[in-house]
A and B are shown apart, each in its own frame.
Chain A
């Protein structure tokens, strides 16, 4: 089959409370090809994790994905799907890896039992076959003596090994799409490097597409084919990773890049974005980045339209020059 494996159009997620309605994901659209890695970058509260939760149908009341949104996985519409149907897809065609494996693994079930549950939810299989399949998945993510480790409990693994187990669970049923939400943020650099390499290899071998959610531009630049930068619930810039990071068009992308210590001269002041990300409950009208932007003027009081040029796109009234550097 050709065409993108995932097509997201106008994804909007709102939380309603007595204090009012907060839009945490606002009109997010993108496509994901088979085997492609999309980096979703942003600071806390930018809506990047909520985008992941919305895609996989894990937004609980009082949150709601607006019915006007569309998420097509392999041609099948997920928005509005009844929970039993969503459950049949979740963990089989689309799965998620979270930041903290201590929170997502069940502490009172052995690794083998947890993996067995994920297989049994989607396939009829003997216990012996399940164990074989689980051990294969553990071996693929680099866990030695996988058969013996099936009887172990999460607390018997180190942080890095636990995250490998979480990844093994995500790949158990060979999903078409994996959403990885800050999968290496809680890990040490040497372990992070191992997990980065493993996940890239898995995606390549299986042709699995991945959405890599992270605040770390350097990590995203090493794994992602394309990148989407989020600010206050919206994608403000997207395109091929190296193109966006070497020639950003949106001032926020540029500000993020310039504030990296690796880009500055040691001992000299880093370029900094003034102010702090806005509260989603009190967004400025128009462009949400305008109050922190050096290029903002009266035009920015109106929401900037989405501009699409070739593989790239941005939402800005005053995009930076293409040939700036």
Chain B
């Protein structure tokens, strides 16, 4: 397993997201435009789902992307996977862009595993057809060699090669997710984008799939963008972690350091919100919630998006956007109040 470099940016950037943004704007028809001229209300609000994101991932590294619903983490993952076209900025894998000027995906080097294997597998295709469709279409395997190819990948993800002739409905959730992983890997990608791949699985099955990802990383040297709201799973699987809030990255660092000493107030609040397994009846149990609601991404607060919920917010935080900057210890933090001196008191305890 590769050890992450201490810096927030990977030593050798294999995946580069450069000032990437994504704006979803309502499609306004001519009729609506005319009605607006006559005085009708028109919702012209745009959603800045991803806002100026700079991230890099080294070859063979696993980067966790953590945030709450609506923070833009899935949109960012889809931009890297070439499913969505970035409105701003550039996305490169090994120096080459993921999409062409028209927004069409131009590479097979990045593949995706989605959250819900009940929705992401075609119910009318056998598992074998599902896994071999991509490699055959792109000329990676001959049609007559497809069966062996399918068998190899089923074995790699811990399934019986005889399953190739079965349909998705014959499998449990965990098995389906293995099929979805095999389908992605059969394209021999360098980069795998995993969007909440264990969120819909039962606890005992979740551990099996987490172990599978660990094994595949060791076996194949995969580069991973692992999107999750589950801080525990990300800590377990990823070298570095990026924390996202309302479209922006607020903190990036090695998983051990970010979890041990969060430097952004949102990261700290998020970690404090997670219930911990309480084993001592006398231990101060419970969670300390973040005050306030998650603001609407359609109308995020000005300045630092987190300032209305931040216990440390000052006047400056309400007007000026804090940029992601490198601290002396190599951590990237987007907070006006973050200082170079690491905090003395370890977090949590």
Q: Which residue of A lies closest to B235 (CB)?
A: A266
Contacts of B232 in A (CB 8 A): 260-262
Complex: A272 Cα to B202 Cα, angstroms: 12
Residue interface mask A211-234, B partner, CB < 8 A = 1: 000011111011000000000000
CB atoms of A222 and B208 under 8 A apart: no
Contact of A273 among B204, B236, B276 (CB under 8 A): B204
**Is A284 located at the chain interface by the 8 A CB criterion?**
no
CB atoms of B207 and A193 under 8 A apart: no
Question: Which residues 101-156 of A sit at the B interface, judged by CB distance below 8 A?
Answer: none
**Is B205 located at the chain interface by the 8 A CB criterion?**
yes
Contact of A259 among B204, B278, B280 (CB under 8 A): B204
Contacts of B207 in A (CB 8 A): 259-261, 270-273
Segment of B95-103, B110-118, B267-275, B313-321 in the binding face: B267-275
Given the contacts A158-B294, A221-B275, A189 and B270 also touching, CB distance less than 8 Å? yes
Contacts of A257 in B (CB 8 A): 277
Contact of A197 among B210, B270, B287 (CB under 8 A): B287
Complex: A192 Cα to B290 Cα, angstroms: 10
B162 → chain A, closest Cβ, in Å?
Answer: 18
Complex: A188 Cα to B286 Cα, angstroms: 16
**Is B216 located at the chain interface by the 8 A CB criterion?**
no
CB atoms of B277 and A189 under 8 A apart: no
Contacts of A241 in B (CB 8 A): 278, 281
Residue interface mask A6-25, B partner, CB < 8 A = 1: 00000000000000000000
Contact of A266 among B229, B256, B274, B290 (CB under 8 A): B256
CB atoms of B289 and A193 under 8 A apart: yes
**Is A246 located at the chain interface by the 8 A CB criterion?**
yes
CB atoms of A259 and B206 under 8 A apart: yes
Complex: A281 Cα to B232 Cα, angstroms: 34
CB atoms of A196 and B279 under 8 A apart: no
Given the contacts A197-B289, A222-B287, A270-B236, A261 and B210 also touching, CB distance less than 8 Å? yes
Complex: A277 Cα to B230 Cα, angstroms: 23
Q: Which residue of A lies closest to B255 (CB)?
A: A266
CB atoms of B278 and A189 under 8 A apart: no
CB atoms of B275 and A216 under 8 A apart: yes
Contacts of B202 in A (CB 8 A): 43-44, 215, 277
Contacts of A256 in B (CB 8 A): 203-204
B85 → chain A, closest Cβ, in Å?
Answer: 28
Question: Which residues 290-315 of B sit at the A interface, judged by CB distance below 8 A?
Answer: 290, 293-294
Residues of A whose CB lies within 8 Å of any CB of B are 43-44, 158-161, 188-194, 196-197, 200, 215-219, 221-222, 240-243, 245-246, 255-257, 259-264, 266-273, 276-277
16 contacts between A and B (CB under 8 A): A159-B69, A188-B294, A190-B68, A190-B270, A191-B294, A193-B290, A221-B275, A222-B275, A222-B276, A256-B204, A260-B232, A261-B233, A262-B276, A262-B277, A266-B235, A276-B172
